[in-house]
């Protein structure tokens, strides 16, 4: 229980102390690079307070240019883990409603993270197009195609809409398996321990009758195979 509260305190203090740094840096560095560096410090503080250590395994070099990282979603620690583990700067895809969270919302904007508005079909298409342009301009992104944490399940099904972003941008998809988190994060408590992050070979979008279904199925199968074996 104490590790859970320490992680919560670290997250809260980061919002009070670190988020303003990222916000105030925006006029001087508008590409979000400072915000990304601040997010890594914030993530390190949260995981350190939680007693979580990361072991990284990368199966192949990342392709040149921007990519779309897709990962299974286990817990609230997933985003800090990705910030520390992924070997390339990236931006997260977040619900646009988070903009209204004090400080955090402005930090996400200043860090040039990518909002998606799913409240209405038109808004969703417009925000998807804007996000795809960001990727084509050289920004890698990370998202969780399950849409929500898997909870007691080993892993939920991937929503195909998440892969429209990669399709629109023409960017490779890089599956990322988060392993061992269910032994560390349980309902109402965190047990100090080690989690594994496995970065798989990039998947290119291929021509075919339904390339969206094909890339989503391949990415889900790669990650599910790893999750089921742990």
pLDDT in tens, 29-69: 989 999 999 999 999 999 999 999 999 999 999 999 999 99
pLDDT in tens, 180-210: 998 999 888 899 999 999 999 999 988 777 8
Q: Please state, rounded to an integer, the average pLDDT across all residues of the chain.
A: 90
Residue 123: its pLDDT value, please? 63
Residue 38 is part of which domain span? 2-229
pTM: 0.92
Total domains, the chain: 1
Is residue 197 a contact partner of residue 90, using CB atoms and an 8 Å limit?
no
Please, which pLDDT band fits residue 120 given cuts at 50, 70 and 90? low
SS3 33: helix
pLDDT in tens, 60-118: 999 999 999 999 999 999 999 999 999 999 999 888 888 899 999 999 999 999 888 76
Measured over the CA atoms of residue 72, residue 91, residue 207 and residue 59, the dihedral's sign is: negative
Burial zone of 119 (CB within 10 Å; 0-12 exposed, 13-18 middle, 19+ buried): exposed
CATH number of the domain to which 217 belongs: 3.40.1130
Side-by-side strand order, sheet with 173-179:
52-58, 193-199, 173-179, 68-71, 141-143, 91-95, 114-116
């Amino acid at each position: 229980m104490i590790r859970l509260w320490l992680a919560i305190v670290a997250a809260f203090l980061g919002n009070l102390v670190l988020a303003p740094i990222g916000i105030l840096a925006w006029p001087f560095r508008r590409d979000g690079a400072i915000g990304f560096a601040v997010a890594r410090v914030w993530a390190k503080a949260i995981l350190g307070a939680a007693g979580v250590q990361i072991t990284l395994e990368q199966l192949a070099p990342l392709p040149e240019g921007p990519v779309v990282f897709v990962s299974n979603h286990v817990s609230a620690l997933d985003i800090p883990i990705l910030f520390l583990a992924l070997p390339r700067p990236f931006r997260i895809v977040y619900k646009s409603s988070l903009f209204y969270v004090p400080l955090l919302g402005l930090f996400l904007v200043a860090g040039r993270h990518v909002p998606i508005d799913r409240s209405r079909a038109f808004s969703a298409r417009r925000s998807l197009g804007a996000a795809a342009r960001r990727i084509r301009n050289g920004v890698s992104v990370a998202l969780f195609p399950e849409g929500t944490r898997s909870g007691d399940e080993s892993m939920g099904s991937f929503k195909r809409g998440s892969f429209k972003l990669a399709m629109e941008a023409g960017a490779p998809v890089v599956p990322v398996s988060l392993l061992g988190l269910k032994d560390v994060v349980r309902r109402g408590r965190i047990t100090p321990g080690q989690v594994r992050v496995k970065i798989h070979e990039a998947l290119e979008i291929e021509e075919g009758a339904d390339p969206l279904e094909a890339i989503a199925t391949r990415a889900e199968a790669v990650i599910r195979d790893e999750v089921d074996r742990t």
